């Protein structure tokens, strides 16, 4: 499959990769250059491979409370949240952003999860919620970096949005010719200040992408591929669902208990309550390499010849100029500063650190 911006990416000289069935830009220049540009200036991404689901119905908030770990009543109009969808065993099906648009809610499943999430929602839809598959009708652009707001205000009127805030832009707010629908949220997957735009018809996103590249030239904007998107999220300790949640992981293991509202009933809650009674289990840990080497997904983690865990995400940090990784380690071994060994193609010494790997203005 191709996004509506495929030909534009070709024009910009993108190198492509197949990701979850989509031909997506892997990079346009060098991964390190794109990465640093987002940390210090601004970058624009096509993330239209992500899912798009609209929900409507009078019992929508109770439905959201049931199917996610968030209490739907807490998220008022023009606000959003990061949340998790769990199965009956408390395992993470997907992590998603959702937004309250007033008369409807927008859910953003991970790439490749659209069909599964819709089927799962329909299975649990006693409330009679209208579930709309909007995947082909919308493009998603992400504008990320410390200069993202200044860049965006080159094409729309000045605005202010809190983190996870959202608005539907009116035609008169645009400084360019745009006749479609555009929902704007303050969100992203880089750890920098940033915005995401949900645009319909999908083809209309090209106008906005081109305008942002042109008007954002004064701010040093660059198009950014999926490779830099991955290193950016890894430096901030953000989960990648296909890696960190595979094999039936739950929010406690994944270090995501902070996003659970325990004051309501939700699918998987009872299983999590039982799991919390365990004394020993694997938990996500963050590893910074001491010596040379770059950890990779699937490599094993050892402590004094005893296998204690496995790497789920690993790579080179352009900001730290060293290897970093995330992985699951037996809880009793997780102490900040504890040294371990990652064994794969080569043996790599690493230490357990507190996330994020890269703090604000540290690059």
What integer pLDDT is reported at residue 319 of this predicted model?
98
Q: Do residues 165 and 45 share a domain?
A: yes
pLDDT at 293 over 90: yes
DSSP one-letter code for 319: T
Query: pTM for this one?
Result: 0.97
Q: Do residues 127 and 167 share a domain?
A: no
Write out the residue range of the structural domain in which residue 19 sits: 6-51+136-233
Q: Do residues 284 and 353 share a domain?
A: yes
What integer pLDDT is reported at residue 331 of this predicted model?
97
Could you tell me if residue 273 is inside a domain?
Answer: no
Q: Do residues 212 and 88 share a domain?
A: no
pLDDT at 67 over 90: yes
* Mean pLDDT, range 217-245, rounded to an integer: 98
Looking at 133, 168, 202, the residue that finishes a domain is 133
Tokens standing for residue 160? 């202010």
What integer pLDDT is reported at residue 361 of this predicted model?
84
**Mapping DSSP to helix (H, G, I), strand (E, B) and coil, where does residue 303 land?**
strand
Could you tell me if residue 31 is inside a domain?
Answer: yes
Angle between helices 226-235 and 31-40 (to 10 degrees): 60
Q: Please provide residue 137's backbone torsions phi and psi, each rounded to the nearest 5 degrees.
A: -90, -15
Task: Determine the Cα–Cα distance for residues 77 and 92; give it in Å rounded to an integer.
Answer: 26
Q: Do residues 119 and 140 share a domain?
A: no
* Mean pLDDT, range 75-79, rounded to an integer: 97
CATH number where 314 lies: 2.40.30.110
Separation of CA 157 from chain center: 27
Strand order in the sheet with 166-168: 166-168, 181-185, 194-200, 139-144, 43-46, 222-223
* Mean pLDDT, range 185-213, rounded to an integer: 99
Q: Do residues 36 and 61 share a domain?
A: no
Could you tell me if residue 269 is inside a domain?
Answer: no
* Mean pLDDT, range 35-60, rounded to an integer: 98
**205 neighbors 158 (Cβ within 8 angstroms):** no
**79 neighbors 100 (Cβ within 8 angstroms):** yes
What integer pLDDT is reported at residue 330 of this predicted model?
98
Torsion of CA 64, 68, 70, 73, to 10 degrees: 10
Tell whether omega for the bond before 251 is within 30 degrees of 0, i.e. cis.
no
What integer pLDDT is reported at residue 340 of this predicted model?
98
Q: Do residues 147 and 209 share a domain?
A: yes
Task: Report angle CA 247, 253, 259 to the nearest 5 degrees.
Answer: 115
Looking at 95, 115, 133, the residue that finishes a domain is 133
Share of the chain above pLDDT 90, in %: 98
What integer pLDDT is reported at residue 61 of this predicted model?
97
Task: Determine the Cα–Cα distance for residues 263 and 278; give it in Å rounded to an integer.
Answer: 21
* Mean pLDDT, range 93-97, rounded to an integer: 98
Residue written as tokens 């790497």? Answer: 311
Q: Do residues 184 and 305 share a domain?
A: no
* Mean pLDDT, range 250-261, rounded to an integer: 98
Looking at 133, 160, 186, the residue that finishes a domain is 133
What integer pLDDT is reported at residue 325 of this predicted model?
99
Neighbouring-strand partners of residue 44? 143, 223
CATH number where 129 lies: 3.30.70.1400
Task: Determine the Cα–Cα distance for residues 228 and 280; give it in Å rounded to an integer.
Answer: 35
Could you tell me if residue 258 is inside a domain?
Answer: no
Q: Do residues 172 and 296 share a domain?
A: no
What integer pLDDT is reported at residue 360 of this predicted model?
86
Task: Determine the Cα–Cα distance for residues 149 and 159; give it in Å rounded to an integer.
Answer: 9
Split at pLDDT 50, 70, 90, the class of 58 is very high
How many structural domains does the chain have? Answer: 3
Could you tell me if residue 240 is inside a domain?
Answer: no
What integer pLDDT is reported at residue 345 of this predicted model?
87
Q: Do residues 128 and 148 share a domain?
A: no
Task: Determine the Cα–Cα distance for residues 26 and 16; give it in Å rounded to an integer.
Answer: 5
Could you tell me if residue 335 is inside a domain?
Answer: yes
Could you tell me if residue 251 is inside a domain?
Answer: no
Half-sphere exposure of 192 (CA within 13 A, CB side): 29
Q: Do residues 59 and 36 share a domain?
A: no
**144 neighbors 192 (Cβ within 8 angstroms):** yes
Task: Determine the Cα–Cα distance for residues 40 and 247; give it in Å rounded to an integer.
Answer: 36
Q: Do residues 25 and 156 share a domain?
A: yes
- Average model confidence (pLDDT) for the chain? 98
Tokens standing for residue 321? 């100029």
Half-sphere exposure of 101 (CA within 13 A, CB side): 21
**285 neighbors 352 (Cβ within 8 angstroms):** yes
Torsion of CA 273, 274, 279, 285, to 10 degrees: -60
What integer pLDDT is reported at residue 291 of this predicted model?
86
CATH number where 169 lies: 3.30.1360.120
Could you tell me if residue 119 is inside a domain?
Answer: yes
For 342-359, how does the pLDDT look when each residue is reduced to its tens digit (9 = 90+)? 999 889 999 999 999 999
């Amino acid at each position: 499959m191709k996004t509506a911006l495929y030909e534009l990416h070709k024009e910009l000289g993108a190198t492509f990769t197949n990701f979850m069935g989509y031909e997506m830009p892997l990079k346009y220049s060098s991964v390190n250059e794109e990465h640093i540009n987002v940390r210090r200036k601004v970058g624009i991404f096509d993330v239209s491979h992500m899912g798009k689901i609209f929900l409507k119905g009078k019992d929508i908030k109770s439905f959201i409370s049931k199917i996610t770990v968030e209490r739907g009543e807490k998220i008022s109009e023009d606000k959003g949240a990061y949340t998790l969808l769990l199965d009956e065993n408390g395992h993470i099906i997907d992590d998603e952003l959702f937004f309250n648009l007033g008369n409807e809610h927008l859910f953003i499943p991970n790439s490749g999860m659209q069909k599964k999430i819709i089927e799962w929602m329909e299975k649990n839809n006693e409330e009679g919620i209208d579930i709309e598959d909007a995947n082909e009708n919308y493009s998603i652009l992400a504008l990320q970096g410390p200069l993202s707001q200044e860049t965006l205000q080159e094409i729309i009127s000045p605005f202010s949005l809190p983190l996870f805030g959202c608005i539907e832009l009116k035609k008169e707010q645009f400084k360019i010719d745009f006749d479609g629908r555009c929902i704007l949220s303050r969100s992203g997957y880089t750890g920098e200040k940033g915005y995401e735009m949900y645009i319909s018809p999908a083809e209309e996103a090209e106008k906005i992408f081109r305008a942002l590249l042109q008007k954002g030239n004064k701010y040093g904007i660059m198009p950014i591929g999926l490779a830099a998107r991955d290193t950016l999220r890894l430096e901030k300790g953000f989960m990648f669902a296909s890696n960190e949640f595979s094999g039936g992981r739950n929010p406690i293991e994944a270090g995501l208990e902070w996003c659970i509202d325990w004051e309501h009933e939700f699918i998987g809650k009872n299983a999590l309550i039982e799991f919390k009674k365990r004394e020993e289990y694997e938990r996500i840990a963050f590893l910074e390499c001491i010596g040379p080497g770059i950890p990779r997904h699937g490599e094993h983690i050892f402590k004094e010849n005893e296998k204690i865990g496995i790497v789920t995400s690993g790579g080179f940090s352009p900001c730290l100029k060293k290897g970093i990784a995330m992985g699951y380690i037996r809880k009793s071994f997780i102490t900040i500063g504890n040294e371990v060994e990652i064994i794969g193609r080569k043996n790599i010494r690493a230490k357990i650190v507190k996330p994020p790997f890269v703090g604000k203005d540290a690059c």
